[in-house]
Amino acid sequence: MDSGLRNYLIITTGYWAFTVTDGAIRMLVVLYFHLLGYTPFEVAMLFLFYEFFGIVTNLVGGWLGARIGLNLTMHIGMALQVLALAMLMVPEPLLSVAYVMFAQALSGIAKDLNKMSAKASIKTLVPDQDSGSRLFKWIAILTGSKNALKGAGFFVGALLLQLLDFRGALAVLSGGLLLVLLVSIRLLPSGLGKSKAKPKFTHVFSKSAEINWLSAARFFLFGSRDVWFVVALPVYLYSVFQWSFMQVGGFLALWIIGYGIVQASAPALVRHSHHGKGADGGTARQWALVLSLIPVSIAIALYFDVQPRMILVTGLVIFGIVFAINSAVHSYLIIAWSDHDKVSMNVGFYYMANAGGRLVGTILSGLVYQIQGLTGCLVWSSIFVLFALLLSIKLPVE
């Protein structure tokens, strides 16, 4: 086994372990604080700092990774997640809203440090002659498996909460991740992804045109998902369809798992649909156009009360498939268009835009649902995708 593949497997395994805890902690917080009497919107607000600090972390983390090495930023992310999990193990009276939001802020910092480091490091592991198909495949597998395992983490969190208690579940998760962290520190080489020069912080904002346009499109792409997914959909399924919490959690988990499987398969799907050619700016535009039609179609069907259960579930499955391909194409392009010395800063800047879109989508999901219902959220989802499509017009075609 060559060293590049070995290091890729170490990074991927660590990323998988982290991702399971990320999905599990979200489900634990949602279920546990619902039991404490929080409304769904109040529970969603517990994750506000989680999303906000993702913006800050991606901006600073890419620059930090270029200076000290991506292996260090990845391990710092894992250590912060262990700390965030441990913080929530305090007695129930100490779990105030501010305290939980602070713990979630640490978890958000940890998640984005880990994600940025794992994805950016792959660029350094792939030889230049394999920078097309092999890079797309490795990025797609890492991204797709991450989302599938985050969905699995929802199940793990709910199961641990049922078998143990809140603090017992957190102890299992933090202990397991700590073990993975120690093994990764031992096996992963130091200095991975470290820039030969010491980049200044201002270089974070010095991007090529295609990186800027792609990052802007990414902002609206992920806003289009979270504007209905974070608050509106769970509340709608619970209050209108009268699903149980386990049914709601199970559906969302399966959706994310399926989404991840499609992401991992994206290179084959894109090559097939583009007659063997790889992804470029034209690919991003074509798939964004397809995606923009789906949420508004679901909204029209719901507005006229046409088989709402079947249309919503089927439509969201189709949305998940097409969204996953869009996301995988973006994730490949940001790596492919980055130089080795700038990859961590470019990926950090790009995921800052991703986190910004998620933050805006999270806020709008509660606000728009309260004013316009789920149909309004779906219409706004299509509008966001159209913005992503317009911004993608500037992306180059090979």
Question: Could you tell me the residue range of the domain that residue 146 belongs to?
Answer: 3-191+205-392
For residue 197, tell me if it sits in a domain: no
pLDDT tier, 275 (very low <50, low <70, confident <90, very high otherwise): very low
For residue 398, tell me if it sits in a domain: no
pLDDT tier, 124 (very low <50, low <70, confident <90, very high otherwise): low
CB atoms within 10 A of CB 124: 17
For residue 196, tell me if it sits in a domain: no
What pLDDT shows up at residue 198?
A: 62
For residue 199, tell me if it sits in a domain: no
- Residues near 288 by Cβ (< 8 Å), separated by ≥ 6? 217, 221, 326, 385, 388, 389, 392
pLDDT tens string 21-76: 888 888 788 778 877 877 766 777 787 888 888 888 877 776 777 677 777 888 89
For residue 51, tell me if it sits in a domain: yes
pLDDT tier, 178 (very low <50, low <70, confident <90, very high otherwise): very high
What pLDDT shows up at residue 6?
A: 75
For residue 198, tell me if it sits in a domain: no
Specify the number of domains making up the chain. Answer: 1
* Least-confidence region, from 109-113, 140-144, 322-326: 140-144
84 close to 102: Cβ distance less than 8 angstroms: no
For residue 66, tell me if it sits in a domain: yes
- Residues near 300 by Cβ (< 8 Å), separated by ≥ 6? none
What pLDDT shows up at residue 213?
A: 92
For residue 33, tell me if it sits in a domain: yes
CATH code where residue 17 lies: 1.20.1250.20
Would you state the structure tokens that stand for residue 240, as one six-digit string?
């209108």
Between 208 and 368, residue with greater pLDDT: 368
- Alpha carbons 27 and 350: distance in angstroms, whole number: 27
Q: What is the mean pLDDT of residues 171-193?
A: 84
